[in-house]
Structure 1
C-alpha cells in the first residue's frame, strides 16, 4: 500500500469527527489541520494529524450551543455547515421536529434557537410559545425562519415570542448578522 492510500479524504475526516467536509476544508485552509495535496490538487489528511487536532482543539468545551429546529434535512445541513464555518467554537444540534426540539431545548439550554415555522407535527408558532412559557428557555433568542414571508406570518411569530425572522433560503451574511446580534461575549 502506498502512502496516498493511507491518507483520508475530507469526507472521511468529516465522518470521523462528525462535521461536514466543508468544515474540514476550512480547517485545512486556516492551517488548523495539516494536509497533503494529491497530484490532482485534492487535500488528503494523515490520521495522526486528525488525532492531533482532536486532542488539542475539538475536545475543548464549546463556547455556545445553537439548536436548529428544521424538518428539511437539506436546509438543516446547510445551516449546520454555515454555523460550523462561521463559529467553530459553537456546538450545533438539530431537531427535525417540534416535539424533538422541546426535549432537546430543555436538556441542552442553547444560546440561540433557529426555528422553522412550517413543520409537519407542530408548527413553529406553537413551539415558539412553548419555549417562551418555559422558565429555563424564556430568554433564549429565537430566530424564526420560513420560505413563507407573508407579513401576517412574520407578525404572528414575533407575537409568539421570536426575536427576529429570516427568509429561507438564508444567505450566509444574513445568518452571520442575526447570530452576531445575539452573541454576548
Structure 2
C-alpha cells in the first residue's frame, strides 16, 4: 500500500477517538492494551501514525473514515489472481485450470479467512475468487470489506458458493461482488468471466 503524501500524518488519542466515533478513554485503552500501536511524546501524550491507525482499523474490520481515505491508494497487482476456498481440492482445481488458461498471471491461494486477509493486504491481487461459505467467516461481510476498503484497491471479486438460491445471489451482489457462481462450477464460464474482467480493465486503461 502506498500513500501519496510527503508528510507523515500523526494523530492524538483524542483525534483517533473522534475519527472512530468512540470516547477518548476507549482509544487510550486500545493503545494501553497493545491493540493500537502508538508512541509517547516527551510530555507523556500518545501519538498514532496514519499507517498504524489504518492497520488497526483494517485488522478490526472497522470502516475507514472518509477523512482518512484521501491520499490512500493501493498498488493493485492486476497480473495476479487469488483463489479463496477452504476445500483444498476445489481450490487446487480452480487454480490449475486458470493457470493453464492464463499462464501470464501470478496465482495466490488461501484456505481460510485469516490467510486470505493476510495475502490480500500484502499482495493486493486484482482478481479474487471468493468462496463465501468459509468456516468461521461471514463471506458476505468479507466481500464487502474487500470491495469497500480503499487499502485493498478495487479488485474484481467473483463469489462462489455451494448454496444455489436467488436470495444468496442477490445479497452477495449487493455486498459488491462482480459475479456469482454456484457449485459445481462451470469452469469454462468462470474462465470466460475472468477474461471479460481483464478485457474490461484493458479497455479502461486505453481511454
Q: Structure 1 length as normaliser, TM-score?
A: 0.63
1:69 and 1:116 in contact (8 A); partners too: yes
SS state of the match for residue 116, structure 2? helix
2:130 and 2:159 in contact (8 A); partners too: yes
Stretches of structure 1 that go unaligned for 5 or more consecutive residues are 1-61
Which residue does the alignment assign to 1:150? 165
2:78 and 2:126 in contact (8 A); partners too: no
Deviation, 1:116, is 0.3
1:123 to 138, 142, 149: 138
Which residue does the alignment assign to 2:102? 87
Deviation, 1:173, is 1.3
Which residue does the alignment assign to 1:165? 180
Structure number having the greater strand percentage = 2
SS state of the match for residue 136, structure 1? helix
> Is 1:106 the equivalent of 2:121?
yes
Q: Structure 2 length as normaliser, TM-score?
A: 0.57
Deviation, 1:177, is 1.3
Q: Distance in 2 between matches of 1:170 and 1:178?
A: 12
Tell me how large the CA RMSD over aligned residues is. Answer: 1.6
Query: How many positions carry a matched residue from both structures?
Result: 124
Q: Distance in 1 between matches of 2:169 and 2:156?
A: 16
Deviation, 1:170, is 1.5
1:96 to 80, 87, 111: 111
Cα distance per residue 1:114-170 (max 9 Å; x no partner): 000111120311110111231032521000001211101001101111011012122
Stretches of structure 2 that go unaligned for 5 or more consecutive residues are 1-76, 203-207
Which residue does the alignment assign to 1:17? none
> Is 1:175 the equivalent of 2:186?
no
SS state of the match for residue 64, structure 1? strand
Runs of at least 4 residues off by over 4 Å: none
Q: Distance in 1 between matches of 2:123 and 2:153?
A: 14
